Amino acid sequence: MMQLLTKSKSRIERIYDKIKGQILSVEERFEKYNTLIYWAGILLYRVLLDIVYATVISPVYAYADFTLAPNLVRYMLSWLFTVVIALFSQFLLRQKYVSSYLVFLFDLIYFLPLQTMYGLRGLDIVFYLGAMVYWVLLTVLQGKIPVIKLAPPKFGTKIMFTAMAGICAVFVLYISWRYTGFRLIFRLNDVYRWRSEAAGYSMPSVFRYFFSMTSTAIPLFMVYAFQKRKYIWTAVLFAVEYLHFSVDGSKSTVFYLAMVIVGYLFFHSRRSKWLPWALFAVGGAGCAESLLNGTQYIISYFYRRVMMIPVLLSSYYFDYFTQHPIDFLRGGILRRVGLQSPYSGNIPKMIGWLYENVDTAANNGLLGDAFFCFGLAGVVLMPIILILCFRLLDACTEGLHSNITFGICIYFAISFTNSNWSTILLTHGLLFICLILYLWPRDVLQRKEVCYGE
């Protein structure tokens, strides 16, 4: 049995090395065209955003406020800012920090779709200019605020790291057994039923918080096991993560797991210029699906849900909180010291009822979070808060390869566009992830790639 496992292990490693070698060979041929590849990717991606919005999203989802009202002046201004964003993003990628990739991903999935919606749908001019002030400050602060060096512990990291992995895995197994009897979900179209069921579990609050955190932690432990060539433990942790998904049916768990695996196997800092092309490919596949099959699943989830809806919700938050009292963090962290928010109900649900007339939680981050917490002053204050959070992540990833944290960047880029920043720190597990990355045993970093901080 062990001999068979050893042979299978060697075969997998040979296949992986062969694929990796072919990718490197292709990269070497195109290396002298890096700048052209980057600019072509950004500009074609913006063109496709416009095409997708005008020909798929607006015709299908006009009832959901995705209307089409193009204006030449607005459209030209949106393209001017597109070029400016592309120019500064190119400098961001030279930093090679986790935060650099986060801000770059914000540009791709939030600020460029915002340009499309401003040019083709129309947004309040004050909101639009405030968004651009927000982007300028976020980008400038990302380049100017220094990264603090945080030396990892000199001993005991492997023991602490392994212990954390064991605690997380055992906890997920307990939750899966206690509430679902080790149920496995294989159909994604039933996930809302499981999510509704999970909301009714009589689970202690601390368990809910920790269960949410483990969904982002376990794939990282899986990567560590893979680095150590412990393939059996890799498979065990993969199964644990699938059990996690089967408890509440959260599709983001599956998506994050896939991003961590793909990122570790294939991502490198020099491949970041291909990210716009990856989004272009997704959009192209969505257009092909719409033309050939008459359905819009890809466009609806990736372009509408991930990119366009956060921008639209941000405009709703702007409209509401420029006319009503500002929260000033009283509904969040300042609530712990006795300050009361002027709002007693659930703010995202209130926004959902007022602007969409549906019982849904219209959660929003970035600009929406800024207007909710600080009003118009948020376009200045929120970038400062975010960059300080990002610097903690940078400090904890000192010396780690970019392929380890690629999935984290994708996950938290989407999280920050959809959730309150303080919620991301705790419920989404950013602080917990920082601790894991800080304790990551640096002695297993064997691949010769660019590390954060180099």
What is the distance between the alpha carbons of residues 135 and 276, in angstroms, rounded to a whole number?
Answer: 18
Helix ranges (H only) for 360-451 are 367-374, 378-396, 406-418, 421-426, 430-439
Answer yes or no: are the C-beta atoms of 226 and 234 closer than 8 Å.
Answer: yes
Query: What pLDDT sits at residue 24?
Result: 59
401, β-bridge pairs: 451
Query: What pLDDT sits at residue 6?
Result: 58
Q: Percent of the chain, pLDDT > 70?
A: 87
Which residues neighbour 283 within 8 Å (Cβ) at sequence distance 6 or greater?
45, 48, 49, 52, 299, 302, 303
Mean pLDDT of 260-270: 85
Residue 382, pLDDT above cutoff 70: yes
What pLDDT digit, counting tens, does each position of 192-250 carry?
777 778 878 888 889 998 999 999 999 999 999 998 888 899 999 999 999 999 998 88
Residue 65, pLDDT above cutoff 70: yes
What pLDDT digit, counting tens, does each position of 76-134 carry?
999 999 999 999 998 888 887 899 999 999 999 999 999 999 999 999 999 999 999 99
What SS3 class is residue 451? strand
Return the structure tokens found at 278.
């990856």
What is the distance between the alpha carbons of residues 46 and 113, in angstroms, rounded to a whole number?
Answer: 8
Return the structure tokens found at 142.
């990302």
**Cα dihedral angle (442, 444, 450, 453), rounded to 10 degrees?**
0
**Which of 197-201, 418-422, 433-437 is predicted with the least confidence, judged by mean pLDDT?**
197-201
Return the structure tokens found at 139.
């980008």
Query: What pLDDT sits at residue 344?
Result: 78
Mean pLDDT of 353-375: 89
Residue 448, pLDDT above cutoff 70: no
Residue 453, pLDDT above cutoff 50: no
Residue 1, pLDDT above cutoff 80: no
Answer yes or no: are the C-beta atoms of 57 and 116 closer than 8 Å.
Answer: no
- More confident site: 371 or 336: 371
Query: What pLDDT sits at residue 73?
Result: 96
